[in-house]
Structure 1
Amino acid sequence: MSFQYLKPAGSTLFKDRYTQKVDENLQPYDQGIKGEVGIIGLPSSKSSISLSMAQEAPKTIRKALGAFSTYSLEKDEDYKDMKIIDFGDVAVHPTSIEETLHRLNTSVTEMLETKACEKHVVIGGDHGISYPSIEAFHNKFGRIGVIQWDAHHDVRNLKDGGRTNGTPFRSLLEEGILNGEDLVQVGIRDFSNAKEYGDYAKKQGVHVYTMGDVEDKGLNSIITQEMDRLAKEVHLIYLSVDMDVVDQAFAPGCPAVGPGGLTSRELLSSISQAAKHPLVKTMDIVEVDPSKDVRDITSRLAAHVMMRFMFQ
């Protein structure tokens, strides 16, 4: 018997014949396939010092891509033919953080070895995933420059709890994977960090821009200045976006929300500014906790961050 209106469960959503959603561009990785952008999920949040279910973010951010079309009105360009290769999610270890870090590093390395894409998006997880991810890019490309959007320095000591989502950049600096002068931190927020860690960042030569600096100098101006400087020294520029850099009003689904952060427009504009540079080949997006979100506000913003990076 044939049915007039019944369709397989979950497939009854309205479809406009002229509109393509961004999630329709995703194609699972298969040997020999080539695309413009590759994405990989690192669903790890066991190292978070705040209660977090950020391991669910890769799933919700992918889903959020389905809320947006491939057409840019401002550029009058449709990205419907862009091929986004989805490498899937890493199977993290259930108990061992060190084994999970190893698996994350191995998986990012394997993704790069396929040479399937020129640009890559790494979806966390908490900010601890940036340590193994940046190490993998360093091993592949050499000297790496990093622009870090964040309310926090993430250079906590490793004696109080080992590697956490508050230690990735300390690990990278102390292991010589990242030079201090090659790390730029923007959006660092008042009353959100210990003096010890601000002093440590300065001692390491990290270029730190607080929210006060953002207000005085303008975020895009800072990004342009630092991109020009890094481009003279490094082989690749990596964007690391901790979503708690955004004010809690625009990103309620972060484990460490707070007032006084960036607006969503400021974040998106600065990502677009950075992504234009030819040395910018990869980005990670971290610290989205879907269990704390409201109507997927934060996941949708993270999806837009991805789109600003991919659609250049």
Structure 2
Amino acid sequence: MNRPLELGDPADFRRGRTLDVLVPTRNRAAELAVTLSGLAANSVAGFGVVVSDQSDGDPSWTHPAVAAMVRVLRHRGHPVLLTRRLPRRGLAEHRAFLLDQSAAGYVLYLDDDVWLEPGAVARLLMAMVELDCGFVGNGVHGLSYLDDVRPETHRHFEPWPGRPAPERIRPGMPQWDRARIHSAANLLHVTDACDLADGEWLAYKVSWIGGCVLYHAGRLRAAGGFDFWHRLPERHQGEDVAAQLAVLDRYGGAGILPSGAYHLESPTTVTEREVEAWEVVSLPG
């Protein structure tokens, strides 16, 4: 039987680092263990990890597999802070709380059902430094759709020729449909067509990305972060879309190929979705 975990000290965790990974979770111990295992296998040194749990019962880290991965991360030099955020006030408030736990220059929001391949974190950081924009992200692959090729979605793929420029994107615009390449395994098929060399990466234009997004923390905060949460009912979705649209307005953003993010394709834990956050939050323009 494993011994109890130390939760970590919030004040100590907020020592300055280059990167913190922020993981919101609820009722997904098995998936969270897989997500943390992917982080533990990435080679970037010293990034921190915050796990904020809103499970209905015991927190996820009481599961032996999750506890083991927390210990592996700490053993490999990654500070881990384990927190609970209850009562639940919605997805946006949870993301705002996670951001408040970090003093890092960059924050990677990673969903609790995404496995990152080795090298994915380093590639995202490299792209962020070179592109110097508001966010970069990896669209997630659903491998059960690997044989389901949808060429009609590929036309929405458009590489960035240089540093991403600020863009004003809203529902109803043609650019909104860029998100279609992030469904199923579409992004893998697009990547195959690009025929990238080993070690090569490519930035492309996005409207928003779900599941794995690395932000310049200062620019995310300057664009308002997730502070709009108090204007939303608890039962909402699309909070990441609203935040990314605001960052795109000011600083631009990009998706990165190849993506090293793989969706576990578990059933969603967000079953009550009465409001799209981006429909409620007033964006300039």
Same fold (TM over 0.5): no
Higher relative contact order (CA 8 A, sep 6+): 2
Larger Rg: 1
TM-score (normalizing by structure 1): 0.31
TM-score (normalizing by structure 2): 0.33
